[in-house]
A and B are shown apart, each in its own frame.
Chain A
Amino acid sequence: MRELCAAALDAATAAGAEYADARVVLKRDQLVATKNGRVERISDSESEGIGVRVLVGGAWGFACDRRLSLEGAREAALRACTFARAAAGRHSRRLAPLEPRTGTHRTPIERDPFDVPISDKIDLCLRADEALAGADVLVRQTMVRAQREHKLLLTSEGTEVEQELIESGGGIDCAAARDGVFQTRSYPSAHVGSSCQSGWEYVEGLDLVSEGPRVAEQAAALVRADECPTALTTVVLDGDQVALQVHESVGHPIELDRVYGTEASYAGTSFLKPDDLGSLRYGSELMNITADPTTRGGLGSFGFDDEGVPAAPVPVVEAGLLTGFLTSRETAARIGAGTGGSMRADGWNRMPLVRMSNLHLEPGEGDLDDLLADVDEGVYMETNRSWSIDDKRLNFQFGTQIAWEIKGGRLGRMLRDATYTGITPEFWGGLDAVAGADSWRLYGLTNCGKGQPGQSAHVSHGAAPARFLNVQVGVRR
């Protein structure tokens, strides 16, 4: 791997690149899924190749090749230089200075998920599938997954870092229907479960089989539940929905490439401006958000990002005040602060982009019961179902799988089709309680999209249940 990267860098610099980096990536994904008592999917995918990024005359170029050969490496480098030379624009790009780094990093694990026999994974899924059986349940689904990514990065500045990142994950879902009402329920999260950078011990800890009956009972109850009413009220969100809220309304707006407009043609921009740093009130004083790629188990954890910048926690919102952005070396140079540290690429055949790593809402005090106890009337919502937010990340509308009314500090009747909507800084300004560290956990998402061509990133959010005042719930068409 090292020889290939070095050959690519030599070819790029000989072709006129003032900067170049080369990444060899070997990736393997495995998925086992069942549906209604039968194996739906067993897939085992591997992908390998080299990606070469260059700066020529101040312009970026990127090319890649699946062949892990000297010929493939050199050709990718030369094609990247050709593309950079042909690129339109004024080209005044520069990178924040970075001392060359060498190092290695590996996800700490107890049991390699690829050492677990597929038959064991099928057995676990089928047992969890059976546990989901229940009245009105039409569809039962389970899945477990594993991923290993081994990558080596060399840069023309002398950085050389090698990393092996291992993920494990799983989840169960069921759908119930009755009298034209269709409802779903999931554990531990919707949208392909939840994952961690971890060994198989994470999946075992999820206890998918034991959770099955509760999930099925709630799905069946939801098709009989009342619809969430329309109201301006107090909302308590479970950690899963808080994680989604952090992701969409904080994580993406603080990506500095979006702030500078480079995602305008697809994912969108940001309501934040560069000079908002240190002055913009993002939320209440209880709002403390940290980007931390060193979090053990986080899907966004690494030793070095894909520019070779060492992992380090960055506070981005402190006591409600915006204090940090997620940056690359290029955007850090442009804003004149930091050295980057948030660049990741989706495999060998995509260019690194500014991505969330692990973005946490720091815990407060108490637990869910404490948050509910202070609410005379409100709604408690659990597990994300739908999400939509505008291109500047201001106007959002999210829905959850299940909700309960809160009356006199206690949960009341179950509600279905719960949605809430708001404007980002106003919503976070209404944050009036976050549960404590004992209720705080990591939620891992594997479907964060960005870039053209599209890239899917894996990110985690640490979150605990949180309470928000004056929220519009029950959006009607």
Chain B
Amino acid sequence: MNAREVARAALEAADGEAEAVAQVESSGLARFAGSEVHQPTLIENAVVTLRVVNDGRTGVATTNRLDADGLAELARRAAEAAESAPPDDTFPGLAPPGDPAEVDGYDEETAGLGPDEQARRAAAAIEASGDFPVYGFFTSAVSDLAIASSTGLSVDQRMTDASALVVAADDAGSGYAEQTAWRAGAIDPAAVTREATEKAERTKDAREIEPGVYRAVLEPYAFAELLQYFSYDSLGALGLLEERSYFTGRLGQKVFDEKISIADDALDPHGLPKAFDFEGTPKQRVELVEQGVARAVVWDRTTAAQAKNSARSTGHAPPAESRDWGPLPYALSVAPGDAPSVEDLAQLVGDGLYITRLHYLGVVHPREGVVTGMTRDGTFRIRDGKIAEPLVNLRFTVAVPEFLQEVYGLTSQSALVNSQNFYGERYPYGVMVPAVASARFAITGLGSKPGI
């Protein structure tokens, strides 16, 4: 059964007002460590979530038992939950039928990749490393998402995605690279390995520096993750309504350098395109920050109703397992600048740090946008406008708004950085960012040398 058939079958099993969200996944991930595949995982699954509405009372149940008995039981459990709930006068109702845009994001060749081909592409990443040990994976998947409801809404989208990720590491150094796209043909696993190993070779004999505030260039991998963590509290409507967003009381104000414009754009064919959200509402491009001015956050139907103003869903309802976060930007995109390369950004910085990748971020103060974490797999000093000697991994504690308040430049080329860690059901998403050079990146501690 495809997702549309699953959603319709679940909807038919329900009696009355209801919405069914179906996800069908076929994926393979060949994970390797020390240049050997050690966790090769093939997944075949289909999951449907049924939301039943009974006089403003809602109940939700999920199953992957798709036979008649399984779906009848699903409907029974959802109805039982709804009957138990008190009416919710803020419930906005199920989404009406919409007209989602036609988007790219499905590639027949990628959908057809089987275990042999997935393993072969992982092998290509491994073989390109020579004697340098590599750790990472190649993965590809086809994911089918469909939503049907008693309002007449019926939408579905078939998506493909592929990623190659490599950490090249030995006792003395480590480097990182990854590529993500909805077409596996756009991924070159060997090139990913070459980028990672070249970086790793340059991290040997890493030195320490004094903690303090430095100028810094962040590669797209690092910038994407920093922005993603900032977005959890600050760029969604729930954070705004609950006053943990940095944008609370600041919409319409200049908050960042005028070189910074941030959108959420799931319709961009260069990203991982989506036509609609998990309520079936068509996706919209949302201008979050325009030339440094905070303009908007993203909304779903629930938060728009709670706002009790003119807010409307922008098509950002999350999957059921992420509902606690409220609507989130799943397709963040930072406008590129005009620097031809990261070397040109280093020139703008003059004296500072060059950071490839971040690790294990944590939000310290949501309202202030303060995030801590470590640099990893490629941290360097910038001296005299050149990327210079390697550094040990560094602990940073950065207020993202301060980081973005004085920006020297951004590269003219952006990269799509994968954001999914493949927990739960497959839902490909990522962040499209250029590299960035900033005046403020606070180092608050020193870690170990790069390497395994």
Contact = CB atoms under 8 A, between A and B. Distances in A.
Contact of B84 (A33, A117, A399): A117
A399 B397 CA distance: 12
Contact of B31 (A177, A452, A456): A452
A88 B31 CA distance: 10
A87 B81 CA distance: 46
Contact of B372 (A60, A177, A182, A386): A386
A42 B84 contact: yes
Interface in A80-100: 80, 82-84, 86-91
Interface string B159-171: 0000001110100
A42 B60 contact: yes
B445 interface: yes
B85 A39 contact: yes
B40 A395 contact: no
Interface stretch (B118-126, B286-294, B405-413): B118-126
A72 B324 CA distance: 34
B126 A397 contact: no
Contact of A49 (B64, B115, B137, B169): B64
Interface stretch (A104-112, A212-220, A265-273): A265-273
A45 B61 contact: yes
Interface string B100-121: 0000000000000011101110
Contacts of A46: 61-65
Contacts of B198: none
Interface stretch (B41-49, B260-268, B336-344): B41-49
A476 B399 CA distance: 10
Interface residues of B, number: 98
B40 A83 contact: yes
B64 A397 contact: no
Contacts of B395: 388, 390, 395, 397, 421
Contact of A454 (B85, B398, B422, B448): B422
A242 interface: no
B44 A64 contact: yes
B367 A83 contact: no
A475 B359 contact: no
A390 B445 CA distance: 11
Contacts of A266: 421
B2 to A, nearest CB: 15
Contact of A44 (B61, B323, B366): B61
A90 B33 CA distance: 12
A477 B423 contact: no
Given A261-B135, A397-B362, A421-B444, A88 B244 contact: no
A255 interface: no
Given A43-B62, A388-B360, A392-B448, A89 B366 contact: no
B135 A47 contact: no
Given A271-B448, A391-B374, A44 B78 contact: yes
A66 B364 CA distance: 40
B386 to A, nearest CB: 27
B38 A452 contact: no
Interface string B208-252: 000001000000000000000000000000000011100001000
Nearest to A419: B364
A42 B45 CA distance: 23
Nearest to A455: B423
A86 B362 contact: no
Nearest to A143: B324
Q: Which of A59, A83, A476 has the most CB atoms of chain B within a 10 A radius of its CB?
A: A83
Nearest to B366: A182
Given A390-B376, A421-B445, A88 B36 contact: yes
Nearest to A453: B422
Contacts of B32: 88-89
A411 to B, nearest CB: 24
For A271, A386, A390, A394, the residue with the greatest tally of chain B CB atoms inside 10 Å of its CB is: A390
B345 to A, nearest CB: 22
Contacts of A49: 45, 64
Instruction: Name, among B49, B119, B137, the residue most crowded by chain A CB atoms within 10 Å (CB to CB).
Output: B119
Contacts of A83: 28, 30, 40, 42, 115, 118-119
A449 interface: yes
A196 interface: no
B187 interface: no
What 6 pairs between A and B have smallest CB-CB spacing? A89-B36, A86-B119, A453-B422, A454-B423, A88-B123, A87-B37
20 contacts: A46-B65, A62-B42, A84-B40, A88-B126, A177-B243, A182-B365, A261-B135, A262-B33, A263-B33, A264-B169, A265-B166, A351-B39, A386-B362, A386-B372, A387-B362, A390-B393, A449-B421, A452-B29, A452-B39, A477-B399
Given A262-B38, A477-B213, 8 more contacts: A46-B62, A47-B64, A79-B42, A86-B115, A182-B366, A389-B374, A397-B445, A454-B423
